[in-house]
Amino acid sequence: MADMLVPLLSLPSSAPVLDELKQQGVIVRRANPFEWTALRAFCEKNFAVTWADEACSGLSNKPVTTYIAIENGQIIGFGSYECTRRDFFGPTGVAPEHRGRNIGKALLLVCLEGLRDMGYAYAIIGGAGPKEFYAKHVGATEIPDSTPGVYHDLLAK
């Protein structure tokens, strides 16, 4: 899968989406290192062990570079940046039963704001899956000749 480039100088604000989610009882915030086990369990259950590894590495950054979406005290989505490589967004995921509620969009925007606040003018989405999602919400474009990117020579499952 190809990488995508996101212009951060024209990033839309996360505030309206976060406010709307808050009214529905969904909180989007940085994860805490003491939530490591819960984050790992969520990623492994819904996605992959490798995604759990990447997302949990963000818990060691200061500030933490993994965000979570919470409803009724449970993690229902996560988004990470500055994990596998500098200036990279990902992985991210929303539990299947909570998709379509703008949670993925909120996580994408807060993570990219985090990268912008670090001083980056552009961000890279590593091995982008839903390209239309990224193009639509943050103007991401595919980086030519970016396959396989950093996800190569992978361990066998």
Ligand X SMILES: CC(C)(COP(=O)(O)OP(=O)(O)OC[C@H]1O[C@@H](n2cnc3c(N)ncnc32)[C@H](O)[C@@H]1OP(=O)(O)O)[C@@H](O)C(=O)NCCC(=O)NCCS
Residues near ligand X (CB under 6 A) are 90-94, 99-105, 128-130, 132-133
Task: Tell the smallest beta-carbon distance from residue 101 to ligand X (Å).
Answer: 5
Q: Which is nearer to ligand X, 64 or 69 (CB)?
A: 69
Task: Tell the smallest beta-carbon distance from residue 119 to ligand X (Å).
Answer: 23
For residues 28 and 110, is the Cβ–Cβ distance under 8 A? yes
Task: Tell the smallest beta-carbon distance from residue 25 to ligand X (Å).
Answer: 15
User: How far is it, in rounded angstroms, from Cα 81 to Cα 37?
Assistant: 19
User: How far is it, in rounded angstroms, from Cα 21 to Cα 128?
Assistant: 25
Q: Which is nearer to ligand X, 120 or 134 (CB)?
A: 134
For residues 111 and 31, is the Cβ–Cβ distance under 8 A? no
